[in-house]
Structure 1
Amino acid sequence: MDKSKEIKTVLITGSSSGVGASACVAFAKRGWNVVINYSRSEDAAFALKEKCEQIGVNALVCKANVANEEDCKSMVNKTIEVFGRIDVLVNNAGATKFCDYNDLNGLNEKDFIDVYKVNVIGAYQMVKYAASHLKKVKGSIVNISSMSAISGVGSSIAYSASKGALSTMTLSLAHALAPEVRVNGICPGFIQTRWTKGFLGDRYESVKKKFENAALVGRTSLPEDIANGIVYLGADAHTTSGQMLTIDGGQLVNQGKL
Structure 2
Amino acid sequence: MNRVALVTGASSGIGKAIALRLLEEGWKVALNGFNSLEAGRQVAAGHGQAIYLDADVSSATEAKRLVDLTVEHFGRLDAVVNNAGIARQIDHSDLDAVDDEFWDLVMAVNLKGPWNVARAARAHLLRSQGQIINNASVAGITASGSSIPYAVSKAGVLHLTRLLAKALGPDIRVNAVAPGYIDTPLTHDWTAVRDFVAEKAPARRLGQPEDVAEVVHGLLSMSYVTGTVIPVAGGLQLLSGT
Same fold (TM over 0.5): yes
CA contact (8 A) 1:170 1:185 kept: yes
Name which of structure 1's ranges 145-154 and 103-112 shifts more when overlaid on structure 2: 103-112
Question: Equivalent residue for 1:215?
Answer: 201
Could you tell me how far 1:97 is from its partner in structure 2? Answer: 4.3
Task: Pick from 217, 237, 241 the counterpart of residue 252 of structure 1.
Answer: 237
Q: Partner amino acid for 1:7?
A: N
Question: Equivalent residue for 2:9?
Answer: 14
Name which of structure 1's ranges 36-45 and 143-152 shifts more when overlaid on structure 2: 36-45
CA contact (8 A) 1:141 1:183 kept: yes
**Is 1:236 aligned to 2:221, yes or no?**
yes
Could you tell me how far 1:107 is from its partner in structure 2? Answer: 1.5
**Is 1:38 aligned to 2:38, yes or no?**
no
CA contact (8 A) 1:97 1:111 kept: no
Q: Partner amino acid for 2:200?
A: A
The 5-angstrom pairing of residues 65-84 of structure 1 reads: 65-84=56-75
Task: Pick from 103, 107, 119 the counterpart of residue 98 of structure 2.
Answer: 107
Could you tell me how far 1:216 is from its partner in structure 2? Answer: 1.6
Q: Identify unmatched segments of 5+ residues in structure 2.
A: none
**Is 1:175 aligned to 2:170, yes or no?**
no
Change (3 A) 1:209 1:109: closer
CA contact (8 A) 1:11 1:90 kept: yes
The secondary structure found in structure 2 opposite 1:120 is helix
Question: Once the two structures are superposed, what CA deviation does each residue of 1:118-174 show, in whole Å capped at 9, x if it has no partner?
Answer: 111111010001011011111110000000001121111111001001110100000
User: C-alpha separation between the residues in 1 aligned to 2:183 and 2:240?
Assistant: 19
More helix by share: 1
User: C-alpha separation between the residues in 2 aligned to 1:209 and 1:109?
Assistant: 31
Question: Equivalent residue for 1:224?
Answer: 210
User: C-alpha separation between the residues in 2 aligned to 1:157 and 1:210?
Assistant: 19
Q: Partner amino acid for 1:238?
A: S
User: C-alpha separation between the residues in 1 aligned to 2:96 and 2:236?
Assistant: 30
Name which of structure 1's ranges 209-218 and 11-20 shifts more when overlaid on structure 2: 209-218
User: C-alpha separation between the residues in 2 aligned to 1:152 and 1:112?
Assistant: 17
Identity of aligned residues (%): 32
Could you tell me how far 1:232 is from its partner in structure 2? Answer: 1.1
Q: Report the count of equivalent residues.
A: 242
Name which of structure 1's ranges 41-50 and 174-183 shifts more when overlaid on structure 2: 41-50
Q: Partner amino acid for 2:187?
A: T
Could you tell me how far 1:108 is from its partner in structure 2? Answer: 2.8
User: C-alpha separation between the residues in 1 aligned to 2:90 and 2:14?
Assistant: 23
The 5-angstrom pairing of residues 57-136 of structure 1 reads: 57-136=48-127
